[in-house]
Structures are given as structure tokens and as C-alpha cells.
Amino acid sequence: MINLTFHSPEEEIHYPPITDYGIQLFIKRDDLIHPFISGNKWRKLKHHLFKAENESKTHLVTFGGAFSNHILATAAAGAKFGFKTTAFVRGEEVQNPTLTFCKIFGMQLIFVDRTAYRHKQALYQSHFRENQEAYFIDEGGFGPEAELGCREIIQELQQSYNHIFCAAGTGATGAGIINEIHQQKLKTQFHLVPVLKGGNFLKDDIKPLLISDFPFHLHEDYHFGGYAKTTPQLIDFIKDFSSKTGVLVDPIYTGKVLFAIKDLASKNTFAKGSKILMIHTGGIFGTLGMLDKF
Ligand SMILES: *Cc1c(COP(=O)(O)O)cnc(C)c1O
């Protein structure tokens, strides 16, 4: 039985550089769902796991970069729920904590060069065409299954918020949140913070996952140089925030979102008394890949 029932708590956070602007800050602690199947990754995998089980598939095959939180979550979920796991990893063979934990959870890693990596279906076919047990999960778990699982973030909320913020890689998590906010006719404004440079492409990417062309805010200026790039300013902010709140955020995703909230608050973007919720999508292993920056 595939289940990880956990309604992540919404915690109010007192952090003067944000809350001194007369707003209330809350964090939905999806990072507490599971140490490895963390944050949005459990929500994105859940319906894939149900489908794989229904189709009697026993082997999850997926794709990711060498620091992918998604492949680590797939490895841990596979081990927990009895699936074999394989990941195609972009680039030449390297060692890092994420990949080591993947191996401990029994995942097979196949390193492929960047050109081959672009053709995911072809890669899958070349290794698994004859394999009746294999189940394909796209990079980052992107797709309608992921979107559906992420609607539960909103379904679980215990109170209403004026603004909700979330990081975006592929945008599937954001799509689920947007759909559910509009299904429930909430007045909440939704803000997506792309962690990649030129995040405008997300608008087109997530369109197929949206029930309708619902409005949301896209903040493209908080990528800090691009995916997995960082600056001393961001690192200092993360240290200050974590040391004053006890909540860890990572330099790849959640640190950038919180920084965006702080920056927008300092520009008086939010009405006094606004309640702001940040979705903590997990990803603490991102910090392990960047220890030298701290
Ligand atoms: C994967 C990941 C995201 C991105 O989720 P998408 O659905 O791809 O936008 C955000 N935050 C963290 C911590 C992640 O690991």
C-alpha cells in the first residue's frame, strides 16, 4: 500500500526583516514530510506511484541532473514502496551526497552526455523498450500526475492567505497550486519564483497543466544568476534567516523564494496586515552540494 499521510503544518514565522513591514509570514512545512521524499517531491511522485502499481510496473525510471532532489526522492520512494529504480543522470560521472544517497537506496545510475540526455524518450526506449516492468517518469516528475498531487497543498490549508509564494523549476507544483486556488475560488494571489534565468518560458510550459488561463504573478528577478547559481548576498540572507528562525532553506530553491518575499516586502508590495504563506518545497540536499559557499 503506497501511502505517506502527512498534512504538513503551517507555522507562523517571526523574522523582522520581513514581518517588520506589518505583514504576517507563514511557512507550510512540506520539508517535514520525509527526509528524502521531501517537499513537493512526494506530492509530485504520489500519483505516478499509484499508476505504476495499478499497471503492475515494478521499476521506476526517471531523469535528472547530478543534484536532482527528484531522483533522490524517487530512489527513496522506490526503496520504501518496493520498486526498483533507475535514473539517467545528465553529464559525466561525478560523486556527490545526492548521488551517494541514491545508490544507498539501491538506485541504478546511468550517466549520459548532455546531447543524449535531451532525448529522454529515445534513451528510455534504448534501455527499456523490451522491459514490461519499467515505468517512465519525466525529469522532475513533470506532468499531469505531479500537478494533481500538488493541488493537495492548497486542499490542506488550515486558514486563508492573501498571498502564497512557491519556487518553480519545471512549474508543475505551481500549476497544481494555481488550479486548486481557482477551483476553490479563493481570493489568494499566487506568486511563482523561477529559480532559472529567463523564467518567462514557464508561462508556456505550464499552460498544458492549467485547467484554464488563470492569472498569477511571475517574479523573474530572483534567480541569482541561474539554476544552482548563488551570490554572497543570498548565502548571507540564508544564514541570517536560518539562525533567527530555526528553519533551513536551501540556496537553489527555497532561499530564493524567501529572498523574493523579503525584497518585495521592503518595497511595500503587500498591504499592511497581509498574510503571506511560503510553501517550503524541501530541497535541503541542495545545501550539501554547496557547502563550500557557506
Ligand atoms: C524540485 C523542486 C522545486 C521545483 O518544483 P517544480 O514542480 O519543478 O517547479 C522547488 N523546490 C524544491 C526544493 C525542489 O526540490
Distance 54 CA to ligand 1 centre (A): 26
Distance 253 CA to ligand 1 centre (A): 7
Atom of ligand 1 nearest to the CA of 70: 1
| Domain range list for the chain | 10-35+149-293, 40-141
Selecting from 3.40.190.290, 3.40.50.1100, 3.30.70.100, 3.40.1350.10, what CATH number does the domain 10-35+149-293 have?
Answer: 3.40.50.1100
Same topology, domains 10-35+149-293 and 40-141? Answer is yes
Distance 194 CA to ligand 1 centre (A): 10
Q: Which CATH architecture has domain 40-141?
A: 3-Layer(aba) Sandwich (3.40)
pLDDT tens for the 294 residues of the chain, in order: 788 778 899 999 999 999 999 999 999 999 999 999 989 999 999 999 999 999 999 999 999 999 999 999 999 999 999 999 999 999 999 999 999 999 999 999 999 999 999 999 999 999 999 999 999 999 999 999 999 999 999 999 999 999 999 999 999 999 999 999 999 999 999 999 999 999 999 999 999 999 999 999 999 999 999 999 999 999 999 999 999 999 999 999 999 999 999 999 999 999 999 999 999 999 988 888 888 999
Tens of pLDDT along 170-212?
999 999 999 999 999 999 999 999 999 999 999 999 999 999 9
SS (H, E, C) the chain: CCCCCCCCCEEEECCHHHHCCCCEEEEECHHHCCCCCCCHHHHHHHHHHHHHHHCCCCEEEEEECCCCHHHHHHHHHHHHHCCEEEEEEECCCCCCHHHHHHHHCCCEEEEECHHHHHCHHHHHHHHHCCCCCEEECCHHHCCHHHHHHHHHHHHCCCCCCCEEEEEECCCHHHHHHHHHHHHCCCCCEEEEEECCCCCCHHHHHHHHHCCCCCCCEECCCCCCCCCCCCCHHHHHHHHHHHHHHCCCCCCCCHHHHHHHHHHHHHCCCCCCCCEEEEECCCCCHHHHCCHHHC
Atom of ligand 1 nearest to the CA of 167: 10
Pocket residue to mutate for ligand 1, from 253, 279, 285, 290, most atoms within 8 A of Cβ: 253
Structure pTM? Answer: 0.96
Distance 232 CA to ligand 1 centre (A): 22
Distance 167 CA to ligand 1 centre (A): 6
Minimal-distance CA residue to ligand 1 atom 14: 283
Atom of ligand 1 nearest to the CA of 283: 13
Tens of pLDDT along 143-167?
999 999 999 999 999 999 999 999 9
Site residues for ligand 1, CB cut-off 6 Å: 39-40, 69-70, 140, 167-174, 253-254, 281-283
Tens of pLDDT along 165-181?
999 999 999 999 999 99
